[in-house]
Amino acid sequence: MEIIKDIQNAFLPELIIVIFIVLNIILSLFIRKNAYKTAKIITSTGLVFACIAMFFVQLIPEYYAFNGVYLSNIFTCTFKIMLLICAFFAVFISGNLTGLRKQKSFEFFSLLLSGILSGFSLVSSNDFITAFISIEILSISCYFLTGFNTNRKSKEAALKYLITGAASSAVFLLGVSYLYGITGSISLSEISNIYANSTINPLFFIACLLILLSLMFKIGCIPFNNWIIDVYEGAAYNICAYLSLIPKISAFAFIINVFICIFSFSPVLKIISAIIALYTIIYGALGAIKQSNIKRLYAYSSIIHSGFILFGISILTVYSVSASIFYIFTYIFMNIGIWTASIIYNRDYKTDEIGDYKGLFSKRPYFTTALTICLISLAGLPPASGFFAKIYLFSSAFRSDFIFMTLMFAAMLATVVSIFVYFKIIKVLYEKPSNEITITKQGIFPGIILYVCALITLLIGIYPNILIKICQIVSYYI
């Protein structure tokens, strides 16, 4: 009966999602017409149930389920809520799946759900086996989702994702195996207990390094960021929105866990990850200047933001980790905003180039305003929430060691370059339009989501206090 108690206390949302995945797959055999609508309804119902189930999960004393493998505390709960928000958005902006075959809707949504399921379990994993399996399921779902479109680019992008993903999993496993060899256990809490008291092996250092590098791949930091650019260009717009959020957030949760349990014993690793983060920001900002394809530009922008979040995590104080969590939270909304806007504009103009976005303000003024708000937030200007996220991050860096302070100044300079990147888009939006722009009829949902995101961005920018306090509480609990 321990299993049932474990499930009830920690695993309930995941179980519900599993049930709905199975439901989706079974229904795909029976229902032929109206497949898309049914699938969407079922998926959203599943997500709603998962949301409700979050309330029954035990939070206050930490709960280790399944013999210390699965963890459930406030930190994981927060991240799961973030993942659910992303999932809701991703389901609703799917639009009519233009370019995909409608009969495949059920598989599409079951893949979406399995990605979310693995995200959940990656967030709550306390053990390297669970983490590895979750990473693999997540990656595999994402490989398929990337390749879901019927054009050549998405297949190629999926292949590139697969090869680099496989390579990174391999490196991850190597690191884990060395860690296992040194400590004899693969559970994070046990490893941290062992290392709290003893000295550090050079092999331990190598093992941790390997794990760090493979996790850097997942988020899209230097030096493993080349796949992001190609994959985002190949995937469909709504998949890109999904890809830029769900794997990233789960990976960040796991990274935070790993950092705190294992990496806190070695200051070199913190400095290495800080420098990697800094280099990521600079590389992302510089690389984005010359891009003319909107998807590649957004890919570089997601690289930049991963760099910022990683920078906050690598400092490893309570304030900086809470700053990172706050940054992730605001990043969700900004990101969904820009991808939704791209979906809307792509349906109108069927183009990927920035230059063809000229003069959108005169045709769709309200959407363009919302998009501008999201872009301003990404650039880090007041009054949008990105400004507060960056300020909070930089102030927490300021208060810690000297070396982080110097790195922080470099990060600030890189921010300036990234501002140029976003304003390139904004400038194009407000120019005089060329004549061949027609407006097509759109569904309601993308528009609503765009407005909601812009609004939330502004609101967080004006009153960030509550959110910051929540993040601080969360980070105390890790």
Partner 1 sequence: MEFFSDNIFLILIMPVWVCFIIASGIFLKLNISYKVTLMLTLLSSFTGLIFSGMLLKQNSLHTEVIESIFPWLSGENLNIFLGSYIDLTSCVFLSILMLISFIVQLYSYGYMKDNKDFNKYFIYLNFFNFAMTGLILSPNLIQMYIFWELVGAASYILVGFFHNDKETSKAAKRVFIINRIGDCAFLAGIIIFAYFSITYIKQPPDTFLAFNSIEDFRFHLLALTSDGFYNLILLLFIIAAFVKSAQFPFNVWLVDAMKAPTPVSALIHSATMVCMGVFLIIRIFPLLNNTLLYIILFAGLTTAVLCAFIACSRKNIKKMLAYSTSSQLGLIFTALGLGAIPAAIIYLVIHSFTKALLFLCSGVISKTFKTLDMDEMHSLRKSDFYLAVFWIIAALSLSGLFFGGFTSKEILIKTSSANIYVLILIFITSFMTAFYSFKSYFKIFEGEKNDILPVKEKTMLTALTVLSVFVIIPGLMFKASDFDKYCIIAVITGIAALFAAYFVYKNKKQMQGFLYNLSFNELYLPFVYKKIGCIFERVYAISDFTDKYIIDGFVYLIVRINTSFSKIISRLQNGNIQTYIAYSIFTAGVIISIVTLVYHAAAYAKGVSG
Partner 2 sequence: MIINITLYHYLILALILFAIGFTGLVISKNLIKALICIELIMSAINLNFIAFTSFKNYIFLKGMVFSLFITAVSAVQSAIGLVLIYLIFKNRKTLMSEEIEELKG
Closest CA to 118 of 92, 143, 99, 155: 143
Interacting residues with partner 1 between 368 and 397 (CB under 8 A): 395
Does residue 99 bind partner 2 (CB under 8 A)? no
Does residue 108 bind partner 2 (CB under 8 A)? no
Interacting residues with partner 2 between 162 and 201 (CB under 8 A): 162-163, 166-167, 169-170, 173-174, 176-178, 180-181, 184-186
Does residue 449 bind partner 2 (CB under 8 A)? no
Closest CA to 285 of 378, 370, 356, 349: 378
Does residue 156 bind partner 2 (CB under 8 A)? yes
From the CB of 163, what's the least distance to partner 1, in Å? 5
- Among 46, 147, 284, 386, the residue binding partner 2 under the rule CB under 8 A is 147
From the CB of 217, what's the least distance to partner 1, in Å? 8
Is the CB of 90 or the CB of 221 nearer to partner 1?
221
Does residue 32 bind partner 2 (CB under 8 A)? no
Does residue 107 bind partner 2 (CB under 8 A)? no
- Among 22, 48, 52, 163, the residue binding partner 1 under the rule CB under 8 A is 163
Is the CB of 14 or the CB of 230 nearer to partner 2?
230
Does residue 303 bind partner 1 (CB under 8 A)? no
Does residue 160 bind partner 1 (CB under 8 A)? yes
Interacting residues with partner 1 between 396 and 425 (CB under 8 A): 417, 420
Does residue 289 bind partner 1 (CB under 8 A)? yes
Burial of 83 (0-12, 13-18, 19+ CB in 10 A): buried
Does residue 11 bind partner 1 (CB under 8 A)? no
Is the CB of 250 or the CB of 291 nearer to partner 1?
291
From the CB of 185, what's the least distance to partner 2, in Å? 7
Interacting residues with partner 1 between 215 and 234 (CB under 8 A): 217, 222-224, 226-227, 229-230
Q: Residues in contact with partner 1, total (CB under 8 A)?
A: 35
The entry of partner 1, partner 2, none near residue 283 (CB within 5 to 8 angstroms by kind) is partner 1
| Tokens (6 digits) for 79 | 């991240």
- Among 66, 279, 423, 477, the residue binding partner 1 under the rule CB under 8 A is 279
Name the one range near partner 2 by CB under 8 A: 145-153, 268-276, 434-442, 449-457. 145-153
Q: Where do contacts with partner 1 occur on this chain (CB under 8 A)?
A: 159-160, 163-164, 167, 209, 213, 217, 222-224, 226-227, 229-230, 267-268, 271-272, 275-276, 279, 283, 286-291, 395, 417, 420, 463-465
Residues that bind partner 2 (CB under 8 A): 128-129, 132-133, 136, 140, 143-144, 147, 152-153, 155-160, 162-163, 166-167, 169-170, 173-174, 176-178, 180-181, 184-186, 229-230, 233-234, 291, 293, 296
